[in-house]
Amino acid sequence: MTSIRFATEPFPVDAIKIDKSFVSQIGENDPKATAVVDAVLQMAKRLNMETIAEGVETSDQARYLRARGCTTAQGYLFSRAVPSSEVGTTISSKGYDEWQLEHTKQTT
What is the domain-level CATH number for residue 34?
3.20.20.450
Intra-chain end-to-end CA distance of the chain, in Å: 28
What local confidence, expressed as pLDDT, does residue 1 receive? 40
Domain count, the chain: 1
Residue 27's domain spans which residues?
A: 14-107
State the pTM of this model: 0.74
Question: Does residue 40 lie within any of the structural domains?
Answer: yes
Q: Average pLDDT, whole number, for the chain?
A: 82
Band of pLDDT at residue 23, cut at 50, 70 and 90:
very high
Axis-axis angle for helices 31-46, 59-67 (nearest 10): 40
Check: CB of residue 6 under 8 Å from CB of residue 13.
Answer: yes
Question: Does residue 5 lie within any of the structural domains?
Answer: no
Check: CB of residue 78 under 8 Å from CB of residue 96.
Answer: yes
